[in-house]
Structure 1
Amino acid sequence: MSPDVPRDEPTPAAAPDAQASGLDRRAADLVQRLLAVGIDGLGPFDGAAEVARAAREAHPTTESAVHAVVRQHSRLIAGNGFVTGLGGLLTLPVALPANVFAFHVLAVRAVAAVAELRGHDTSRPEVRSTVLLTLVGADATDVLKSAGLPTGGRLTGLLTSRVPRPVLMLVNKGVGFRIIARFGTQGLLRLPQRALPVVGGVVGAGVDTVMFRRIAKAAEHALPPRTPEQLA
């Protein structure tokens, strides 16, 4: 009888639980960084409260200040130098390419500044989660439902609620999952920029601007001005 010949054993696939755990970590890391940089600021990158304060000082009404913040961030998002300007900050290891992460940092800061201008405290976890939810559009309702928070299609209920921290963590992580799924680790929507730096860059800037305007529109509905009774 011929001797047994050793055969190469196939490499076992990663266990589903391990894959899920890795995705959990990436989603949690992503939203933590978005909140920390976009709302709180980092180094020379002003946080949302500073942006709101500057807009309030420069404009006579709350809504004119809100529109100014949206215009300012539309220009920043359309610009080509943002990623380079932040340098090492955006090369931190996250679940998205640096240019996609930059877009979301700016969107978070703009929405959070709108929240501040309209009387909402962005240090509150419920407000921070609402800011994140504006990033995922129509998926926001599904995120809330999966966390056990049915909203009837509106996000405003979260602002005035006291939600347990573990539930808000589920909400935030759900946003992270959807951002990662939408853009992937390769940043597919940004590939034309790499292939055709001039034409692709113009197209990419236009796509980003349209996406940001949708987010800003969602923020207008999700973050209404606080009433005098709420401010009292």
Structure 2
Amino acid sequence: MGLIDLFKPKREQIKAARSALDAANDPTVDEGAASQAITKVMDMLLDIGLDGRGPIKSAAQVASAAKKEKGSREEAINAVARGTMYRGAFGGFVTGIGGFVTMPIALPANVLEFYVQATRMVGAIASLRGYDIQDPRIRTAVLLTLVGSKSDDVLKKAGMATGGSRVTSLALRNMPPAALMVVNKAIGFNLMRGVGTKVLGRLGRGVPVAGGFFGAGVDGYMMKKIADQAMKEFPDITGG
């Protein structure tokens, strides 16, 4: 399935992503407005990335289709990760190919596409490993996987201790919904701030055409890192 078949952000969704990027990277943005913008994007990742919408398959459906095609659970996981990595690279190429001229529109769209795909990939991996991705705590664990090695810092900033496995601690701890929302918001700020401060979105993609290849390499690499993190954070609990 191609990137365009997977997800084409609508104008209001791109606007929400742009607002979230501004909120995370501009200290002058009102705290309440910043929080609202970040929360909206994180809700979209869960709504579209995990649950699917319209022609977009849910993470559980992706997992089921991969398992049916490959037979082996681990082969299905590898296929999901590999396919998503390729689509992520393609999205990075499209974003960077126009350089600085198209970046104000292309970058927010790519950010949303990238993390929707990443969320769906992690959710599919978690589902294949036996986790209930309808459980609010697992859903937060899926989002937490997106920030990789920074997850400890994100949890600490959200006021949580991080002893033991992060996914296990989130899944087994009896966290109230309000606490999960705080963690989700902290994850969102970290993701959006990372996009704004890295060369990913500012320098290498500024040159037309060459920026496309740079974007493809960076986004493909980032998606692989997230896939590797997901395989580490969601050990198999199926017993099979």
- List per-residue Cα deviations over 1:31-54 (Å, max 9, x = no partner): 101111110111111110110010
Amino acid at match of 1:104: Y
Cα distance in 1 between the residues matched to 2:78 and 2:69: 12
Amino acid at match of 2:78: H
Larger RCO, structure (CA 8 Å, separation 6 or more): 2
Match of 2:178 in 1: 166
CA drift of 1:62 comes to: 0.9
Which sections of structure 2, spanning at least 5 residues, go unmatched?
A: 1-26, 96-106
CA drift of 1:137 comes to: 1.7
Cα distance in 2 between the residues matched to 1:44 and 1:83: 22
Matched, 1:21 2:32: yes
The one of 99, 102, 118 aligned to 1:107: 118
TM-score by length of 1: 0.79
Amino acid at match of 1:34: L
The alignment yields a C-alpha RMSD, in angstroms, of 2.7
CA contact under 8 A between 2:154 and 2:186: conserved in structure 1? yes
Matched, 1:60 2:102: no
Amino acid at match of 1:25: Q
Decide which structure has the larger Cα Rg and report it. 1
Matched, 1:97 2:99: no
Match of 2:162 in 1: 151
The change in CA–CA distance for 1:187 and 1:26 in structure 2 (over 3 A counts) is farther
CA drift of 1:191 comes to: 4.5
Which sections of structure 1, spanning at least 5 residues, go unmatched?
A: 1-15, 85-95
Identity across the alignment (%): 42
CA drift of 1:187 comes to: 8.8
TM-score by length of 2: 0.76
CA contact under 8 A between 1:77 and 1:106: conserved in structure 2? yes
The total of aligned residue pairs comes to 203
Cα distance in 2 between the residues matched to 1:210 and 1:81: 10
The change in CA–CA distance for 1:80 and 1:126 in structure 2 (over 3 A counts) is closer
More helix by share: 2
Cα distance in 2 between the residues matched to 1:82 and 1:205: 4
CA contact under 8 A between 1:100 and 1:187: conserved in structure 2? no
The answer to which of 73-82 and 120-129 deviates more is 73-82
Cα distance in 2 between the residues matched to 1:83 and 1:28: 26
Match of 1:37 in 2: 48
The change in CA–CA distance for 1:158 and 1:200 in structure 2 (over 3 A counts) is same
CA contact under 8 A between 1:82 and 1:102: conserved in structure 2? no
Amino acid at match of 1:103: F
Cα distance in 1 between the residues matched to 2:34 and 2:230: 27
DSSP-derived class of the 1:225 partner: coil
Match of 1:90 in 2: none
The one of 144, 148, 159 aligned to 1:137: 148
- List per-residue Cα deviations over 1:93-130 (Å, max 9, x = no partner): xxx70111111111110000001101111111111101
- List per-residue Cα deviations over 1:181-205 (Å, max 9, x = no partner): 1113x99623557643321111100
Amino acid at match of 2:141: T
CA drift of 1:146 comes to: 2.8
Q: Which runs of 4+ in 1 moved over 4 A?
A: 80-84, 191-194
